[in-house]
């Protein structure tokens, strides 16, 4: 290769190098939106899953055996205390009662006759005008007649009780369910369930709390005057608010050692029969905390393995290698996302209460958290579209 060719190659390389454009530096800053943490007074409710229950509920069992001869109520309706519900072979038990009364009258007649004989023989015996044996037999017959009357009276009571049991009455006012027997079904004493009746006004609402909350609820139970601004309310299954307020009726006697929880029972008026036994509701306990609290967007909170974090924007100074000549430009302030563990509280709409981990005045990342890690460089130069963000707590 001659010298001219070599020079040509060198010149070509220099020209190509000069024409190549300089690549812009890679920008590692993540665009985010920031919000400033501040405190404010918050009105919210602590929510607890709950179930409605009757204050009293009983299964109706027959006390006599026989066929069902009458049903006198509408299933699923309200019945009053003492209302007739069923009859079970009433005519048979009426006949037994009538027969017992007739036997009683016979016994009373025999007693009257035995008393007359005993009186007569007692008079004759006083004058030694009758055999001693006849006198003794008369006295014994009289005593047996009296015992027979007592036995007949007891038979009348038993027949009367069975006749009363042949008619099944409502033990208290409440709502009755579907009949478990039909006309003509033969029922057995104490084993066949006829129906179930439960009280419906007032109605109980049961829910579970953690044992750590027990002192607070005991304080609410013992308070002489509770706040009138809906301290205890419930949301119905259709998420509508029940119009009546409740109060604590009972706190269970013991804590469940397996779960560390305890049952609390509220009582609500139910004049329109809106509440039914077994409904799934949500108990809302009005939080009476008046101290201002930290409230941040819910999407700013990231959950990792059961723990919760937010990213706090911190000022940091980084070296700028392109500013070698100017010392003032060599160190350039940057924003860095620092991951902070927080303790969360109640969710309120799109926001959530933060109990600890950050303080008023901190700037936290509200949008863009899905691409961050601890120490990421961030920028607010480019507006980020609001989003729930991947991994955020919804």
Can you give the CATH number for the domain in which 267 is found?
A: 2.40.30.170
Alpha helices in 307-391 (DSSP H): 327-330
Instruction: With a cut of 50, list the residues of the chain below it in pLDDT.
Output: 228-229, 325, 328, 389-394
Does residue 257 lie within any of the structural domains? yes
Alpha-carbon distance 308 to 304, whole Å?
6
Closest CA to 30 of 388, 365, 316: 365
Q: Are residues 311 and 234 in the same domain?
A: no
SS3 225: coil
Q: How many domains does the chain have?
A: 3
Q: Are residues 297 and 273 in the same domain?
A: no
What pLDDT does residue 347 have?
A: 82
What pLDDT does residue 327 have?
A: 52
Name residue, tokens 């003794």.
Answer: 136
Question: Could you tell me the CATH number of the domain that includes residue 142?
Answer: 1.10.287.470
Domain termination site, one of 142, 165, 188: 165
Does residue 85 lie within any of the structural domains? no
What pLDDT does residue 250 have?
A: 92
Domain termination site, one of 220, 252, 286: 286
What pLDDT does residue 388 have?
A: 52
CB atoms within 10 A of CB 94: 14
Does residue 342 lie within any of the structural domains? yes
Phi first, then psi, for residue 11 (nearest 5°) are: -65, -40
pLDDT digits (tens, 9 = 90+) for 259-302: 999 999 999 999 998 999 999 999 998 876 667 888 889 888 99
Does residue 25 lie within any of the structural domains? no
Q: Are residues 266 and 306 in the same domain?
A: no
Does residue 21 lie within any of the structural domains? no
Does residue 384 lie within any of the structural domains? no
Does residue 188 lie within any of the structural domains? no
- Which string of b and e fits 75-93 if b means at least 16 CB within 10 Å? eeebbeeeeebbbbbbebb
Q: In this structure, what DSSP letter does residue 354 have?
A: E
Q: Are residues 213 and 134 in the same domain?
A: no
Host domain of residue 337 = 30-42+291-379
Does residue 113 lie within any of the structural domains? yes
- Which string of b and e fits 127-143 if b means at least 16 CB within 10 Å? eeebeeeebeebeebbe
Domain termination site, one of 286, 319, 344: 286
Alpha-carbon distance 294 to 338, whole Å?
19
pLDDT digits (tens, 9 = 90+) for 132-152: 888 888 889 989 999 999 999
């Amino acid at each position: 290769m001659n010298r001219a060719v070599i020079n040509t190659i060198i010149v070509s390389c220099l020209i190509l190098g000069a024409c190549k454009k300089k690549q812009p530096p890679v920008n590692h800053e993540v665009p985010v939106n920031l919000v400033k943490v501040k405190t404010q007074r918050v009105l919210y409710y602590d929510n607890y899953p709950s179930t409605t229950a009757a204050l009293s509920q009983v299964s109706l069992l027959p006390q006599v055996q026989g066929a069902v001869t009458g049903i006198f109520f509408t299933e699923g309706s309200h019945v009053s205390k003492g209302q007739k519900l069923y009859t079970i072979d009433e005519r048979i038990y009426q006949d037994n009662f009538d027969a017992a009364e007739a036997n009683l009258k016979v016994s009373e007649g025999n007693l009257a006759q035995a008393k007359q004989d005993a009186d007569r023989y007692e008079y004759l015996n006083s004058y030694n005008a009758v055999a001693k044996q006849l006198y003794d037999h008369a006295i014994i017959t009289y005593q047996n007649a009296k015992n027979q009357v007592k036995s007949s009276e007891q038979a009348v009571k038993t027949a009367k009780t069975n006749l009363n049991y042949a008619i099944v009455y409502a033990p208290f006012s409440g709502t009755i369910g579907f009949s478990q027997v039909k006309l003509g079904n033969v029922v057995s004493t104490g084993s066949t369930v006829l129906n179930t009746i439960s009280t419906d006004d007032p109605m109980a609402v049961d829910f579970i709390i953690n044992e750590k909350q027990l002192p607070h609820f005991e304080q609410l139970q013992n308070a002489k005057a509770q706040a009138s601004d809906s301290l205890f309310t419930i949301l119905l299954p259709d998420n509508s608010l029940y119009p009546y307020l409740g109060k604590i009726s009972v706190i269970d006697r013991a804590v469940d050692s397996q779960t560390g929880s305890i049952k609390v029972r509220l009582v609500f008026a139910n004049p329109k029969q809106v509440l039914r036994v077994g409904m799934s509701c949500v108990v809302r306990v009005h939080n009476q905390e008046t101290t201002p609290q930290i409230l941040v967007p819910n999407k700013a909170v990231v959950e990792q393995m059961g723990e919760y974090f937010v990213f706090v924007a911190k000022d940091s100074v980084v070296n700028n290698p392109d500013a070698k000549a100017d010392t003032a430009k060599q160190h350039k302030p940057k924003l860095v996302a620092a991951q902070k563990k927080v303790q969360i509280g109640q969710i309120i709409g799109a926001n959530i209460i933060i109990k600890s981990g950050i303080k008023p005045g901190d700037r936290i990342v509200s949008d863009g958290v899905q691409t961050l890690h601890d120490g990421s460089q961030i920028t607010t130069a480019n507006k980020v579209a609001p989003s729930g963000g991947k991994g955020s707590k919804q």
